[in-house]
Chains A and B, each alone.
Chain A
Amino acid sequence: MDNLHQPPLVVTNLSCQRDDRLLFSDLSFSLNHGEILLLEGSNGSGKTSLLRILCGFREADAGEIFWCGEAMADSRYFADMAYVGHADGSKKELTVLENLKFAQALKQVGRYSIEQALEKVQLSGYDDNLLQTLSAGQKRRLSLARLLITDNRLWILDEPFTSLDRQGIVLIESLMAEHVAQGGMVILTSHHDLSLPFNAIQRIHLDSCH
Chain B
Amino acid sequence: MSLTTAFFAIIRRDLLLAFRRRAELANPLLFFVMVVTLFPLAVGAQPNLLQAMAPGVIWVAALLAALLSLDNLFRSDFEDGSLEQLLLSPHSLSILVLGKILAHWLVTGLPLLLVAPLLALFLGLPQAAMGTLWLTLILATPMLSLIGAIGVALTVGLRRGGMILSLLVLPLYIPVLIFASNAVDRAASGLPVTAQLNILLAMLILALVLVPLPTSAALKMSVN
Q: Which residues of A contact B (CB under 8 A)?
A: 52, 55-59, 76, 78-79, 81-83, 85-94, 98, 101-109
Contacts and interface: CB of A to CB of B under 8 A. Distances in A.
Interface string B1-40: 1000110011001001100110000000000000000000
Q: Give the secondary structure class of A's interface.
A: loop
Contacts of A55: 84, 87-88
Contacts of B44: none
Contact of B91 (A52, A58, A106): A106
A93 to B, nearest CB: 4
B224 A57 contact: yes
Interface stretch (B74-82, B112-120, B146-154): B74-82
B49 interface: no
17 contacts: A55-B84, A57-B84, A82-B88, A83-B85, A85-B81, A88-B80, A90-B80, A94-B20, A98-B13, A101-B9, A104-B1, A105-B1, A106-B88, A106-B96, A107-B1, A108-B1, A109-B1
Contacts of B10: 102, 105
Contacts of A103: 85
A49 to B, nearest CB: 11
User: Which of B10, B84, B224 has the most chain A CB atoms closer than 10 A to its own CB?
Assistant: B84
A89 B1 contact: no
B46 interface: no
Interface of B: 1, 5-6, 9-10, 13, 16-17, 20-21, 76, 79-82, 84-91, 96, 220, 223-224
Nearest to B90: A79
Nearest to A57: B223
Contact of B9 (A86, A88, A106): A106
A153 to B, nearest CB: 13
A102 B88 contact: no
Given A94-B13, A102-B9, A106-B88, 5 more contacts: A58-B224, A59-B224, A87-B81, A94-B20, A101-B9
Contacts of B91: 106
Contact of B87 (A56, A82, A87, A93): A56
A160 to B, nearest CB: 14
B90 A107 contact: yes
Nearest to B89: A106
Contacts of B13: 91, 94, 98, 102
